[in-house]
Amino acid sequence: MPKVSLGAELLCDLLIQAGVDTIFGYPGGAVLPIYDALFDAPLRHILTRHEQGAIHAAQGFSRATGRPGVVLATSGPGATNLVTGITDAFMDSTPVIILTGQVASEKIGSDAFQEADIIGITLPITKHNYQVRNIADLPQVIADAFHIATTGRPGPVLIDLPKDMMSGPAQRCQMPEPAPRGYRVPKAPDPVVLEQVAAEIKRAKRPLLYIGGGIISSKSSEDLREFARRNQIPVTSTLLGLGAYPAGDDLFVGMLGMHGIYAANRAITECDVLIALGVRFDDRVTGKLERFSPHSKKIHVDIDPAEINKNVPVMWPVVADVGMTLRGLLALDCVPDAEAWRRQIAGWHEEWPLSYRPAQDGLKPQRVVELLAEATKGQAIVTTEVGQHQMWAALFYPFTRPRQWITSGGLGTMGFGFPAAMGAQVAMPEQTVVCIAGDASFQMNVQELQTIVENKLPVKVAILNNGFLGMVRQWQQFFHERRYAESRIGSPDYVKLADAYGALGLRAANAHEAEAIIEQALRHDGPVIMEFLVHEEENVFPMVPPGAGTDQMTLEWEEA
């Protein structure tokens, strides 16, 4: 006979069966039965200092491993504090399982203490969500939730758990096979369509690969590398695609889009066949749609049919897994005659290389990123907050492998990078994890300093302190006549703050000091906060102004 237990104990058993070993969370009244069960369960729980920190940590864990991160929060404010992270995970296709407490079943809908309709709130920002009203349904719900979160286009799945379901009796059992009603994962690509696509690529004179985060989600980086090299097709990447193809490779053109490099944006404008793999043609890449890649025949491979023709009409839509599609194309002759095109792109690189004006005095933020890359030999897992520092990290740190780069793309969430670094470090304890942060973003979840110290997580944080909301200030400079309304922001003394939490705090104001404190930080076996006092009005270039096309880049700001 199955062992009679409590719902919370059954939940822990099912999570273990699903392969979970770590949960990020914060307790409260509605989830006390779950926390009581966790007391004896062989599951690691990381107690964060805010629920938003918990879900961003779960995202970092997921992005570093490819496994679903798991977050647990109580009802009401605990659940609603997760909403930003859920939206972020939804937009960036990150598999996260969100467990929320809920008031007892008989009180649902009565506006009880700490009740919130988290199902209704998160319906538009989850891949699916559940509320368990019968404990016998929990095994199937857990099985289906993990299946939905990790297959097809990955994403967050929420499970709402009324308190009485967790504190009442339950029968422990083996988790069933997933069987979500109405859920279908796209099948292999049509072989006839693949032959037509291969023929189109072979006819191209100026082919270009445009890759995104879908390459990493589908675990198809090796297939991409083989396809690009066999067919000698240049590669451009979105922000979230960085690392899927190694920086430094002769075929890698660079990041494209609003802050993409000159050669990448020229290439996407001039190409005649654009092969888009695991991307969604978002506005930060396309700029003005009418001017986006106007001369190309477009091939779009994506597992999500909703993305096909959503923003940009394409000639060859392929609704399928990117890896399966690339492996299908590798069996066909796709080799184009594109030597002259590769020389043209190399010429653009020589004409307008990625660069910045060296500092006559003080410290440039780009140089800090270069020093971090040199000191870590380009091998660190790098997370970022959101803003100018994020773009400098994307442009000046050479990412060579998937899951090395963890940043908030679609939602652009300030406060993401530090807790994401915490989650990545939990997942990868032997790896160096560096969070590149802005002084404004870092303050949004600074309380997680206590979490990394308490858990002995040796995260290295590099704060590029320019005294501003940097990207806001840049736009105010360009488009609002330097009227810096509420974009200047103060900071605490980060060295003293680090010391107060029990971490090591360091500061640098020039390149020599920066090099020294980075070396010291990497030698230190605990968490480190490095503050770099950088030029206040340094800007991110290139830049495609709003309303412009990718061919209308501003390469350097000049005063009228």
**Are residues 151 and 249 located together in one domain of the fold?**
no
Beta strands in 228-280 (DSSP E): 235-237, 252-255, 273-277
**Are residues 135 and 39 located together in one domain of the fold?**
yes
Q: Is residue 245 part of a domain?
A: yes
**Are residues 398 and 508 located together in one domain of the fold?**
yes
Mean pLDDT of 260-287: 96
The pLDDT-based confidence of 524 (bands split at 50, 70, 90) is very high
Query: Helix or strand or coil: residue 406?
Result: strand
Q: CATH code at 220?
A: 3.40.50.1220
pLDDT at 531 over 50: yes
Mean pLDDT of 72-99: 98
Give per-residue pLDDT as tens, 290-307: 999 999 999 999 999 999
The pLDDT-based confidence of 358 (bands split at 50, 70, 90) is confident
**Are residues 325 and 408 located together in one domain of the fold?**
no
Q: How far apart are CA 384 and CA 433, in angstroms?
A: 11
Residues 6+ apart with CB under 8 A from 388: 365, 438, 464, 466, 470, 471, 474, 538, 539, 540
The region that residue 545 occupies, defined by phi over 0 for left and psi between -120 and 50 for alpha, beta otherwise, is beta
pLDDT at 121 over 90: yes
Give per-residue pLDDT as tens, 364-396: 999 999 999 999 999 999 999 999 999 999 999
Which pLDDT score, from 0 to 100, does residue 2 have?
Answer: 56
Give per-residue pLDDT as tens, 173-215: 999 999 999 999 888 999 999 999 999 999 999 999 999 999 9
Half-sphere exposure of 308 (CA within 13 A, CB side): 13
pLDDT at 65 over 70: yes
Which pLDDT score, from 0 to 100, does residue 4 have?
Answer: 64
- Is the separation of the CB atoms in 253 and 186 below 8 Å? no
pLDDT at 45 over 60: yes
Question: What's the per-residue H, E or C state across 148-215?
Answer: HHHCCCCCEEEEEEEHHHHHCEEECCCCCCCCCCCCCCCCCCCHHHHHHHHHHHHHCCCEEEEECHHH
Mean pLDDT of 408-423: 98
Single out the residue in 327, 351, 375 at which a domain terminates.
351
Q: CATH code at 60?
A: 3.40.50.970
For 191, the token pair is: 């072989």
Q: Is residue 556 part of a domain?
A: no
Give per-residue pLDDT as tens, 234-254: 999 999 999 999 999 999 999
Single out the residue in 297, 327, 351 at which a domain terminates.
351
**Are residues 138 and 251 located together in one domain of the fold?**
no
Q: Is residue 503 part of a domain?
A: yes
**Are residues 479 and 371 located together in one domain of the fold?**
yes
**Are residues 333 and 283 located together in one domain of the fold?**
yes
pLDDT at 71 over 80: yes
CA dihedral of 46, 48, 52, 53, whole degrees rounded to 10: -80
**Are residues 244 and 385 located together in one domain of the fold?**
no
Which pLDDT score, from 0 to 100, does residue 1 have?
Answer: 41
**Are residues 268 and 400 located together in one domain of the fold?**
no
Which pLDDT score, from 0 to 100, does residue 559 have?
Answer: 43
Q: Which residues are catalytic?
A: 51, 113-114, 163, 471
Single out the residue in 321, 351, 381 at which a domain terminates.
351
For strand 235-237 and strand 252-255, is the pairing parallel, antiparallel, or unpaired? parallel
Q: How far apart are CA 96 and CA 101, in angstroms?
A: 16
Q: Is residue 518 part of a domain?
A: yes
Q: How far apart are CA 258 and CA 548, in angstroms?
A: 9
Q: How far apart are CA 245 and CA 118, in angstroms?
A: 39
pLDDT at 406 over 90: yes
Burial 361-372 (b: 16+ CB within 10 A, else e): eebbbbbbbbbb
- Is the separation of the CB atoms in 509 and 530 below 8 Å? no
Q: Is residue 378 part of a domain?
A: yes
Q: Is residue 130 part of a domain?
A: yes
| Residue carrying the six token digits 């307008």 | 352
**Are residues 167 and 58 located together in one domain of the fold?**
yes
State the chain's mean pLDDT as an integer: 96
Q: Is residue 108 part of a domain?
A: yes
Domain count, the chain: 3
Q: Is residue 157 part of a domain?
A: yes
Q: Which domain holds residue 55?
A: 4-171
pLDDT higher for 287 or 221?
221
**Are residues 341 and 429 located together in one domain of the fold?**
no
**Are residues 322 and 197 located together in one domain of the fold?**
yes
- Report the predicted TM-score, pTM, of the whole model to 2 decimal places: 0.96
The pLDDT-based confidence of 437 (bands split at 50, 70, 90) is very high
